[in-house]
């Protein structure tokens, strides 16, 4: 049964012994982060030995300087909790459900049509429905009452530029199609009514923003096209635009904090731009997401949310954002990003503020990322059926390293797969792609290191490529642009110009193994 809301989910966590309530007073400035970091590192070399890997979810009930406030953190921070959030025994179950949907073939005859009916009925559950009101409207604050500082927003790391909202579901509308997007983009709190809006330029909300800019430029400026391009360049930290020719106007934005877990998770999935995350959440929870209309902007928000911020991004306004201790383990430096102006806050009575911290892995986002890896495998296979398995090691922070095994069928196949990955949605950011044959277990890093380092002639097998780079990368020649590397560690073929013979791998013969099995105990070794 789907979780109705965050509280329903918290009850489930508590029943399962996966929630720890903290009654001692804790400061949202740095202290929550330090405690959570220690808990997240449980089960690792340096972590707490008495806790399971990732530790429990934490509910801070006594927040310094904020009487009555509660902070939830680490709700997704273990493999077990991630599975519980999506209500599956195995993350591959979600992938299987996607696979079933994609495997649909045209029914032949009445019987096959009838067999499809339950699945078609299931489809109906995915679509969001708009309801008249919901708990997120229990308290409504507009005008002077709007105060972001009412919420226990964290400062995560010492050199952070301030407090950051780190687990927001940011809702925008595509001006072309009317479809809604939900993306998780952090928000730096500037004051009681304004925040940064850190949608990176390649993300969906950034494209909605650019489209509104293009329209504004087309309507306002004499040389519409070049003005539009110039504004976009500036908005992306590039060239400056002549004063007076920027399009003015507003983009409606709403932010939901503290929803049922499937919806919050859907905000991070790298869905194709035209697929509404509300539908993905409906698919994941097998129950429609209920939406209510905003008070001050033309958007709908999840009715079950703890907290909603409504407002707008002014198209002609950018402001320095950061620094921020990021999930790379380094601080991301200051850069210009749009500014979010809050026009209305609605929330439940006694709202629970849901948040996370990122930093040196593993942290909560590691488990979210691993879930994405599992769920997206069938979708990768849709365009690249040769892919057998994929591993994005947590220390590769998801955009730095992807190891992929393939069923190699023709010369140059590994390079085709690299190019496919660099062209596939957010996988475009992958700095290093390692391609191995299907007999290599990509989840076994020891086997990967053995096979990859044995199998390559570096000069021949490394492929460099230029392209877009994740905004968080601090090593690329320029922000957002740089090189990627692919390593073809597959067995090389004659048809790829490899004239030597490829050696066999060492394995003991079966009959010897059996003989040794039979006498093993008598050897007295263990």
Ligand X SMILES: Cc1cc2nc3c(=O)[nH]c(=O)nc-3n(C[C@H](O)[C@H](O)[C@H](O)COP(=O)(O)O)c2cc1C
The residues carrying an active-site annotation are 326
Q: Which of 26, 39, 86, 184 binds ligand X (CB under 6 A)?
A: 184
Choose between 189 and 436: whose C-beta lies nearer to ligand X: 189
Indicate whether 198 belongs to the interface with ligand X (CB under 6 A): yes
Indicate whether 204 belongs to the interface with Mn ion (CB under 5 A): yes
220-279 binders of ligand X (CB under 6 A): 267-270
| Shortest reach from residue 462's CB to ligand X, in Å | 27
Stretch that binds Mn ion, among 133-141, 142-150, 197-205, 359-367 (CB under 5 A): 197-205
In sequence order, the 6+-apart residues with CB closer than 8 A to the CB of 113 are 107
DSSP collapsed to 3 states, 372-404: HHHHHHHHHHHHCCCEEEEECCHHHCCCCEEEE
The packing angle between helices 364-383 and 91-102, to 10°, is: 20
In sequence order, the 6+-apart residues with CB closer than 8 A to the CB of 30 are 155, 156, 157, 158
Q: Which of 66, 264, 304, 356 binds ligand X (CB under 6 A)?
A: 356
Choose between 60 and 185: whose C-beta lies nearer to ligand X: 185
Q: Could you tell me how many residues make up the chain?
A: 526
Q: Which of 353, 354, 345, 352 is nearest to 137 (CA)?
A: 345
Stretch that binds Mn ion, among 20-28, 36-44, 178-186, 364-372 (CB under 5 A): 178-186
Indicate whether 335 belongs to the interface with ligand X (CB under 6 A): no
Q: Which of 348, 353, 346, 350 is nearest to 294 (CA)?
A: 346
Stretch that binds ligand X, among 88-96, 182-190, 408-416, 482-490 (CB under 6 A): 182-190
| Shortest reach from residue 446's CB to ligand X, in Å | 28
How far, in Å, CA of 161 to CA of 49, rounded?
A: 33
Choose between 200 and 455: whose C-beta lies nearer to ligand X: 200
288-327 binders of ligand X (CB under 6 A): none
Choose between 71 and 448: whose C-beta lies nearer to ligand X: 71
Choose between 203 and 214: whose C-beta lies nearer to ligand X: 203
> Which structure tokens are listed for 520?
């093993």
How far, in Å, CA of 309 to CA of 302, rounded?
A: 12
How far, in Å, CA of 411 to CA of 169, rounded?
A: 44
Interface mask (CB under 6 A) for ligand X, residues 415-454, using x and -? -----------x----------------------------
How far, in Å, CA of 161 to CA of 152, rounded?
A: 16
Q: Point out the residue whose Cβ comes nearest to Mn ion.
A: 204
In sequence order, the 6+-apart residues with CB closer than 8 A to the CB of 128 are 276, 278, 279, 282, 288, 289, 290, 291, 300
Choose among Mn ion, ligand X, none what residue 186 binds, the Cβ cut-off being 5 to 8 Å by kind.
Answer: ligand X
> Cα-atom radius of gyration of the chain, to the nearest Å?
25
| Shortest reach from residue 176's CB to ligand X, in Å | 15
| Shortest reach from residue 170's CB to ligand X, in Å | 8
Indicate whether 210 belongs to the interface with ligand X (CB under 6 A): no
Indicate whether 373 belongs to the interface with ligand X (CB under 6 A): no
Indicate whether 203 belongs to the interface with ligand X (CB under 6 A): yes
Choose among Mn ion, ligand X, none what residue 484 binds, the Cβ cut-off being 5 to 8 Å by kind.
Answer: none
User: CB-side exposure of 83: number of CA atoms within 13 Å?
Assistant: 10
- DSSP for residue 195: E
154-173 binders of ligand X (CB under 6 A): 166
| Site residues (vs ligand X, CB under 6 A) | 166, 181, 183-186, 198-200, 203-205, 267-270, 356, 358, 365, 368, 426
């Amino acid at each position: 049964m789907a979780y109705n809301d965050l509280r329903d989910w918290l009850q489930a966590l508590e029943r399962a012994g996966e929630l720890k309530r903290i009654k001692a007073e804790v400061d949202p400035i740095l202290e929550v982060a330090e405690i959570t970091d220690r808990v997240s590192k449980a089960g690792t070399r340096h972590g707490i030995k008495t806790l399971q890997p990732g530790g429990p979810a934490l509910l801070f009930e006594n927040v310094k300087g904020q009487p009555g406030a509660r902070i939830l953190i680490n709700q997704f921070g273990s493999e077990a909790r991630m599975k519980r959030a999506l209500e599956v025994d195995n993350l591959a179950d979600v992938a299987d459900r996607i696979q079933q949907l994609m495997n649909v073939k045209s029914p032949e005859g009445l019987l096959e049509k009838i067999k499809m009916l339950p699945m078609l009925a299931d489809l109906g559950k995915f679509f969001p429905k708009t309801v008249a009101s919901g708990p997120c409207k229990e308290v409504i604050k507009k005008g002077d009452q709007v105060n972001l500082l009412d919420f226990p927003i964290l400062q995560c790391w010492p050199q952070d530029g301030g407090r950051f909202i780190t687990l927001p579901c940011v809702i925008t509308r595509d001006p072309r199609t009317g479809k809604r997007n939900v993306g998780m983009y952090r928000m730096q709190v500037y004051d009681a009514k304004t925040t940064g809006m850190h949608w990176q330029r390649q993300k969906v909300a950034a494209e909605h923003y650019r489209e509104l800019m293009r329209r504004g430029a087309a309507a306002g400026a004499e040389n519409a096209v070049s003005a539009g391009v110039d504004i976009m360049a500036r908005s992306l930290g590039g060239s400056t635009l002549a004063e007076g020719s920027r399009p003015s106007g507003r983009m409606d934005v709403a932010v939901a904090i503290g929803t049922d877990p499937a919806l919050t998770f859907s905000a991070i999935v790298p869905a194709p731009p035209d697929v509404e995350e509300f539908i993905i959440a409906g698919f994941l929870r097998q129950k429609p997401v209920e939406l209510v209309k905003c008070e001050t902007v033309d958007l709908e928000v999840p009715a079950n949310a703890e907290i909603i911020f409504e407002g707008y991004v002014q198209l002609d306004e950018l402001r320095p954002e950061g620094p921020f201790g990021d999930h790379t383990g380094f601080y991301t430096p200051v850069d210009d990003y749009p500014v979010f102006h809050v026009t209305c806050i609605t929330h439940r009575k006694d709202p629970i503020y849901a948040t996370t911290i990122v930093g040196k892995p593993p942290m909560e986002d590691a488990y979210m990322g691993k879930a994405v890896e599992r769920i997206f495998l069938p979708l990768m296979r849709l365009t690249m059926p040769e892919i057998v398995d994929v591993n994005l090691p947590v220390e590769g922070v998801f955009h730095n390293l992807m190891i992929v095994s393939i069923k190699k069928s023709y010369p140059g196949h590994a390079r085709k797969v690299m190019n496919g990955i660099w062209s596939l949605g957010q996988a475009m950011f992958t700095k290093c792609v390692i391609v191995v044959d299907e007999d290599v277990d990509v989840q076994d890093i020891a086997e990967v290191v053995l096979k990859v380092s044995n199998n390559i002639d570096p000069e021949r097998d490394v492929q460099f490529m230029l392209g877009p780079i994740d905004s968080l990368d601090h090593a690329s020649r320029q922000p957002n642009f740089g090189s990627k590397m692919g390593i073809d560690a597959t067995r090389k073929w004659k048809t790829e110009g490899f004239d030597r013979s490829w050696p066999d791998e060492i394995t003991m013969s079966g009959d010897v193994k059996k003989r040794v099995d039979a006498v093993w105990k008598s050897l007295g070794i263990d």
